[in-house]
Chain A
Amino acid sequence: MATYLEINKKQVNEEKWEEPFYINMGPQHPSTHGVLRLFLELEGETIINCTPIIGYLHRGVEKLGETLNYNQAIVLSDRLDYIASAANNTAFALAFEKLMGLEVPRRAKLLRTIVCEMARICNHLLWLATHALDIGAMTVFLYCFRDREWLLNIYEKICGARLTHSYVRVGGVRQDFTQEIIDELYKFTEEFPPRIYDYEILIDVNRIWLKRTKGIAVVPPEDAINLGLTGPCLRGSGIAYDVRKFRPYDAYGEVDFVVPTGKNGDTYDRYRVRMEELRQSNSIIRQCLDKLPETQGEPVLAENAPDLLMPEKVKEPKPQPVPKKGVIFRGVEKPIVPVGEAFASIESPKGELAVYVVSDGSNKPWRLRIRTPSFVHISAIPYMAKNHMVADLIAIIGTLDIVLGDSDR
């Protein structure tokens, strides 16, 4: 990098380059995947300093969570990382179940694992599409969206929603899979692995792709842990930390899968890790589908799961005066939540998503803390972007796989 600058300085009159050049990237820049604003200090085309400015999408999910009851808070989680909302639902549900001491039926665990892994495939496909598009490979984008569309259609059959599906509930899942969905998923898991190979040959032999990803944003393993990187970003640096293996939740304890790791910790290795994860996720879905017939007919919601606050049944409906501020639902509130705290974390497609709940015994959480991977990953941008070109910054934002709804909450 230094040599490039020296050449540049010789070519242009040196006095003009004494002051660093400041540039504002975002919040409407297309490659920042949302409303991320980066304040750059440049010397030539090299980044000396980079300051991320976030908060443009802050909706106060943590504060809102304190005003809603536990079942309603699940709906908020959809809006965090809207690309993989099933994973967010699961994190919330796991924390609340831990707090309430609920035991989830095995069938519900298997179904959760399937939707979580579908979310991972969706997320990685979208990531590959946009990352490749940012770097300049247009074709991959179209192919990835074709497969993602298939999965979204399956989601629509499962719960009626394509992006924000509050399918995972406290104590289980909303409803069972029909045979049609299972057949469709079997078809998907058979046809998907050859397609991953197709994507790889589209970009793996592409010289531009290799030049723009190899050796870019190298993070050594010690620094990766210290920066708090998780998920594929940490595994790209060669550390096989995966919450699914280290603290198994749902049905991950009973399925076989490999945690892929990289060697060099550069952008290319992180890409390889994600491609391998696609195959592993596909195999996990297949294994869970094979196990589903063993639990045929079991309930998918725990017996003592908290009911939604539903209106009491009125035998003779009478015209009632409509309250001015919103509709008030009256129902039976059971004191089911003990006083205490719980911490649960899952391996969301982007990294480790942790939820910490403090309860005071009422039906609303006292404090709902969400540790999102994107928030931490954005804090790593200044470290990774140092002494890189402005064009490489696009690759760095892409490789970290950030969603601003996830980071700003």
Chain B
Amino acid sequence: MEELLNELKEKFSSVIVEIQEKDYPTLICKRTGFLDLIKYLKDEKGFKYLIDLCGVDYLNYKQKKFEERFEVVYHLYNLDTKILIRLKVRIPEDDCWHYSVTPLFMTANYFERECYDMFGISFKGHPDLRRILMPDDWEGHPLRKDYPVYLEEEQEWKTYKEFTQKVKK
């Protein structure tokens, strides 16, 4: 485990900002060069299984120690050595995009679509970036912290409003 982390730190010193020891080793990475790192992990180190990809919104998080608003979190697993590592990429609000890993992992296709749907992070290189859980004409990104849990009447989904008016007639 430590060998792997040291090797990664040496080889990708420009990509990896920090290595944290949490419940699983956590690598905090920069956006530039991230694709090289994850490709190296997959092809050379056997991390072939992407368990999860998700976004986290850190708006107004009290204990925040960094500037960027969003984080994209990857959980990678090696089926042979049974090592799980977590990769994190921080994404600023005004420059809200990230590289897609769908060409490497077919699993990432839906995960990235969901991340785009819920947080508005667009993924460069994704073959079909559309909303997945919310309707296509939905406004806003629901899992952002500034999105309300209960919507006011004016903010409601337009298509639904039109539909109810049609039914009433």
Contacts and interface: CB of A to CB of B under 8 A. Distances in A.
Interface of A: 54-55, 58, 60, 62-64, 67, 98, 222-223, 225-228, 239, 241, 246-247, 339-343, 345, 352, 354, 356, 358, 360-361, 366-367, 369, 371, 375-376, 378-380, 383, 408-409
Contacts of A379: 106-107, 109-110
Query: Chain B interface: which size bin?
Result: 35 or more
Contacts of B169: none
A225 B23 contact: no
Contacts of A55: 131-135
Interface string B32-63: 00000000000000001111101011000111
A58 B133 contact: yes
Given A54-B132, A343-B75, A228 B82 contact: no
Contact of A371 (B51, B118, B132): B51
Q: Closest 9 CB pairs between A and B?
A: A228-B107, A379-B110, A55-B133, A371-B52, A369-B54, A58-B133, A367-B56, A226-B106, A227-B106
Interface of B: 22-24, 48-52, 54, 56-57, 61-63, 73, 75, 79, 82, 84, 86, 105-107, 109-110, 114, 118, 131-135, 142-143, 149
- Of A58, A226, A246, A342, most buried by chain B (CB within 10 Å of CB) is A226
Nearest to B61: A360
9 contacts: A55-B133, A226-B106, A241-B49, A340-B22, A341-B22, A354-B52, A379-B106, A383-B106, A409-B133
A367 B57 contact: yes
B82 A227 contact: no
Given A226-B48, A361-B63, 9 more contacts: A67-B149, A246-B79, A247-B84, A343-B75, A356-B75, A358-B56, A369-B54, A380-B106, A409-B133
Give the dominant DSSP class at B's interface: loop
Nearest to A67: B149
Contacts of A408: 133
A63 B143 contact: yes
A384 B57 CA distance: 34
B107 A226 contact: yes
Contacts of B114: 375
Contacts of A54: 132-133
A62 B50 CA distance: 20
Nearest to B57: A367
Contacts of A247: 82, 84
Contacts of B75: 343, 354, 356
B110 A375 contact: yes
B61 A376 contact: no
A55 B133 CA distance: 4
Contacts of B52: 343, 354, 356, 369, 371
Contacts of A383: 106
Contacts of A58: 133-134
Nearest to B23: A342
A339 B107 contact: no
A40 to B, nearest CB: 16
B106 A63 contact: no
B158 to A, nearest CB: 17
Contacts of B73: 356, 369
